[in-house]
Amino acid sequence: MNPHLARLCDIAQQPSRRIIGLMSGTSLDGLDVALCRLHGQGIATRLELEQFATVPYTEEVRHRVRQVFAREQVSLEYVTLLHAWLGRLHADMVLACLRQWQVAPTEIDLIASHGQTVYHAPAHQHQLPDFPGLNATLQLGDADHLAVATGIITFSDFRQKHIAAGGEGAPLAAYGDYLLLSSATEERLLLNLGGIANFTYLPQTGADTTHAFSTDTGPGNTLLDAAIRAHHPTLSYDTDGRLAAAGQVHHDLLDDLLRASFFDAPLPKTTGPELFSPAYVQAARHRTGTMNLRLEDLLATLVEFSALGVARAARLAFGPQPALAVYVSGGGAHNPALMAALQRQLPACSFATTAALGIAPDAKEAILFAVLANEAVAGQPVSIGAGRQRVPAVSMGKISLPG
Ligand SMILES: Nc1ncnc2c1ncn2[C@@H]1O[C@H](COP(=O)(O)OP(=O)(O)OP(=O)(O)O)[C@@H](O)[C@H]1O
Ligand SMILES: CC(=O)N[C@H]1[C@@H]2OC[C@@H](O2)[C@@H](O)[C@@H]1O[C@H](C)C(=O)O
């Protein structure tokens, strides 16, 4: 037997595994690296987050990713090179973290690498007649580079199996959220405010997965970050939402932003910066004569837009006045202007961060991919939701062996 496969069998039979989860999302802020110890599998999974770091992307990395990110037309040569280059970059970042944490690569069982999303194309969004009904998504950063450079067996490209089995490739959060955070005593909404916002609904049913689901809701931080970058190229975000808090919502612009059919489409659904782009905001500003809006007012309007996206999805799912315990994760949890807008839009909900449930809000998405790899080696495929909201029961991730 290939010794790496023998090692994988051993790893699958261990009572606990040390898995590094990697996530680099739509904000292009950096690579999230979560060193997790996962005990058991399935609904009995228990997480210890041993270490976490966000290794920032330099301006050069961001520039390179933006050459292809969410663009319909790109150089195929550039995409090809970026795939290998990001794989190596992520490997170097992991090795640097391990050195800093004084952990040898041989002490790690697996890496679970999400890769860098560069294009997300659910059928409802691309509507291309050549590919009717086809969902597709592309993450770059080939995992063979991670496996070879670190010597650690690496799982990657998790989204493709979800699509192959009938999903849109996202959000995958439902699986990990269900395994780590479902409760028999509380109905929960786990809201992630990344570049794109999404939530997972976990009914108060403990092990019954029939009514759980996750969906994207629209923009999270992506339009806010783009707006501030256009005015202050050296800033990557509106720190603590200070500028947004000093602005006024422009209601005509807000109404225009809400025109996208995405907001009325049934749940669950996914989206990305392909739709919610600076060009989308520019078009709405042209139509509403708000090209000269103060930055503060633009940010206040975009904050309200993100919050309304979440509220609309919650109302579609739970009726006019959702009353749920909401636990927030992702970078938007650090933006008080966004959190205040959410509380205004969903007054009957209570808000806390996932820290209240023992999950560091900035680490949650990277942890989710570690959980998916843990399930792929040691678990059973779990079916979540029912009807349209059902997500396929599959194990996800492709395997890269180090040699
Ligand atoms: N102190 C802060 N004040 C305001 N916003 C903040 C703060 N800290 C982080 N953010 C926001 O969070 C963003 C990063 O969020 P996160 O890392 O969750 O995104 P991501 O993982 O790239 O996105 P996605 O979940 O869509 O893949 C930043 O770009 C910024 O907009
Ligand atoms: C295609 C893609 O990378 N989608 C991301 C993105 O970031 C947030 C939202 O859009 C979510 O659908 C997804 O990530 C999380 C981790 C998910 O799959 O649950």
Are 156 and 13 part of one and the same domain? yes
Q: Using 50, 70 and 90 to split pLDDT, how confident is the model at 390?
A: confident
pLDDT single digits (tens) 305-351: 999 999 999 999 999 999 999 999 999 999 999 999 999 999 999 99
Query: Is 240 domain-assigned?
Result: yes
- For ligand 2, atom 4, name the residue with the nearest CA: 170
Residue 389, pLDDT above cutoff 80: no
**Which residues span the domain enclosing 141?**
3-170+396-400
- Does ligand 1 come within 6 angstroms of the Cβ of 241? yes
Q: Report CA(29)–ligand 1 centroid distance (Å).
A: 7
Nearest to 115 by CA among 148, 137, 134, 96: 137
Q: Please answer whether residues 400 and 147 qualify as being in contact, where contact means their C-beta atoms are separated by less than 8 angstroms.
A: yes
Residue 2, Cβ neighbours under 10 Å: how many?
9
Question: pLDDT at position 298, please?
Answer: 98
pLDDT single digits (tens) 225-280: 999 999 998 898 999 999 999 999 999 999 999 999 999 999 999 999 999 999 99
Q: What percent of the chain has pLDDT over 90?
A: 91
Q: What does the mean pLDDT of the chain come to?
A: 96
pLDDT single digits (tens) 125-152: 999 999 999 999 999 999 999 999 999 9
Mean pLDDT (whole number) for 162-166: 92
Q: Report CA(222)–ligand 1 centroid distance (Å).
A: 8
Q: Report CA(169)–ligand 2 centroid distance (Å).
A: 9
The radius of gyration of the chain from alpha carbons, rounded to an integer in Å, stands at: 20
Query: Is 373 domain-assigned?
Result: no
Residue 294, pLDDT above cutoff 90: yes
Distance from C-alpha of 91 to C-alpha of 166, rounded to nearest angstrom: 31
Are 78 and 43 part of one and the same domain? yes
**Which residues contact residue 146 at a Cβ distance below 8 angstroms, ignoring those fewer than 6 apart?**
87, 90, 91, 94, 111, 113, 152, 154, 156, 400
Are 139 and 251 part of one and the same domain? no
- Does ligand 1 come within 6 angstroms of the Cβ of 216? no
Which ranges in 14-75 belong to alpha helices (H)? Answer: 59-66
Mean pLDDT (whole number) for 379-385: 83
Question: pLDDT at position 207, please?
Answer: 66
pLDDT single digits (tens) 79-112: 999 999 999 999 999 999 999 999 999 999 999 9
262 in the Ramachandran plot: left (φ > 0), alpha (ψ -120 to 50) or beta? alpha
Q: How many residues does the chain have?
A: 403
- Does ligand 1 come within 6 angstroms of the Cβ of 27? yes
Q: Report CA(25)–ligand 1 centroid distance (Å).
A: 9
Are 110 and 156 part of one and the same domain? yes
Are 157 and 195 part of one and the same domain? no
Distance from C-alpha of 47 to C-alpha of 42, rounded to nearest angstrom: 12
Question: pLDDT at position 374, please?
Answer: 98
Q: Which atom belonging to ligand 2 lies closest to the Cα atom of 270? A: 12
Q: Using 50, 70 and 90 to split pLDDT, how confident is the model at 153?
A: very high
Q: Outline where DSSP puts E strands in 110-195.
A: 110-121, 136-140, 153-156, 188-193
Q: Which atom belonging to ligand 1 lies closest to the Cα atom of 25? A: 27
Nearest to 32 by CA among 361, 400, 396: 361
Q: Is 28 annotated as a binding residue?
A: yes
Are 245 and 264 part of one and the same domain? yes
Pairing of strands 136-140, 188-193: unpaired
Question: pLDDT at position 383, please?
Answer: 80
In 219-245, which positions are buried (b, 16+ CB within 10 angstroms) versus exposed (e)?
Answer: bbbbbbbbbbeeeeeeebbbeebebbb
- For ligand 1, atom 5, name the residue with the nearest CA: 335
Nearest to 177 by CA among 385, 371, 44: 371
Residue 206, pLDDT above cutoff 90: no
Count of structural domains, the chain = 2
Query: Is 289 domain-assigned?
Result: yes
Q: Is 32 annotated as a binding residue?
A: yes
Report the predicted TM-score, pTM, of the whole model to 2 decimal places. Answer: 0.96
Q: Which of 229, 238, 335 to mutate to test the pocket of ligand 1 (most atoms within 8 A of CB)?
A: 335
Q: Is 37 helix (H, G, I), strand (E, B) or coil?
A: strand
CATH of residue 200 = 3.30.420.40
Ligand 2: residues with CB < 6 A are: 25-26, 117, 120, 137, 170-173, 194-196, 198, 216, 270, 272, 365, 368
| Amino acid at position 159, single letter | R
- For ligand 2, atom 15, name the residue with the nearest CA: 171
Are 248 and 296 part of one and the same domain? yes
Q: Please answer whether residues 116 and 141 qualify as being in contact, where contact means their C-beta atoms are separated by less than 8 angstroms.
A: yes
Mean pLDDT (whole number) for 70-81: 98
Q: Is 316 helix (H, G, I), strand (E, B) or coil?
A: helix
Query: What separation in angstroms does the CA of 330 have from each of 95, 334, 355?
Result: 24, 8, 11
Q: Which of 23, 24, 26, 126 to mutate to test the pocket of ligand 2 (most atoms within 8 A of CB)?
A: 26
